[in-house]
A and B are shown apart, each in its own frame.
Chain A
Amino acid sequence: MSDRPIAERLLGPDEPELGCDECFEYLDRYVEAEAAGAPALGDCPACVSPQACADARACLGMRAHLQGCPACAEEYASLKALLAGS
């Protein structure tokens, strides 16, 4: 079982987030951009504040989805680990 608190699992992220299909669509460039230390994704469809994403150096819509979706989060972690090891 996950060690995340029950309330967190039930309530999920409270920010605009991508869906699973969009997450998969952008996953490769997100992971590469993140590895390069660059702000990820300039055209995320859930974006409500490109400036906030630039400041966070992350796509907030993607980040929120990865907090809310354990399956996508696992695949993100795997792609990141693959790239780190290659």
Chain B
Amino acid sequence: MGCVEPVREPVVAARAPLDADSRSWVDELGLPPGERDRAVARLHAYLLRVARFELGRRRGALPPVTRRELDDLAVQAADDALVAVLRKLPTYRGASRFTTWAAKFAILEAAVKARRRAWHDRELTLEPEAWERFGAAGSASQGLEQTEQLEAIRDGIRTALTPHQREILVAAALNEVPIDVLAERLGTTRGAIYKTLHDARRNLRAHLAKMEAA
């Protein structure tokens, strides 16, 4: 288990009445360091179960890994989730059960680690020109309307996006590079990548609307 800094801030009173189990978690984890160790160990065990559950769901998407490597990944995810849960504990307001709230941290950590592991040895080619090729040749199953839409999208990617928006849109939406992987390689956050993707899509839709109106 990783070293966890004691929570210094007082636990904020819950906005919603807590169920007995959630109340027990919050009370025990809110005890002074030393007295809360058993609760912290119990929480880590729970987060580890959730991390293993998540990695089990993703095993097919991972490169070949040994059982031990997979479990190491689960332990790392549980360690990081534990730190996050204890840090965020003062913000827990009881809007959901404590275990549901805590589980999302373990799922996030395990999912991000799994995506990064899956892309670990893959070169990330931010290839802005890739958009020029998609749907270019058309296919027998591709109707005229769809072909025209793809051509309009291609035109929008070329003319309505900034170079950075184009790079992120092509990588995330066309080449399906996970946004966590993009964020890690570009030294930014998932939220920032999604914001760029969102803005690119909005510009693209506006471009299509303008084309349709013309």
Interface residues of A (CB under 8 A from B): 1-2, 6-7, 9-12, 14, 17, 19-21, 24, 27-29, 31-32, 68-71, 74-75, 78-79, 81-83, 85-86
Contacts and interface: CB of A to CB of B under 8 A. Distances in A.
Interface of B: 50, 53-54, 57, 95-97, 99-101, 103-104, 107-108, 111, 115, 134-135, 146, 149-150, 153, 157, 169, 173-174, 176, 178-180, 190-191, 194-195, 197-198, 201, 204-205, 208
Given A19-B198, A29-B95, A82-B50, 12 more contacts: A2-B176, A12-B201, A14-B205, A20-B179, A68-B201, A69-B194, A71-B180, A75-B104, A75-B108, A78-B54, A82-B107, A83-B100
The CB with the most chain B CB atoms within 10 A, among A1, A10, A21, A27, is that of: A10
Contacts, number: 95
Given A32-B96, A68-B201, A7 B103 contact: no
Nearest to A21: B191
Nearest to A28: B96
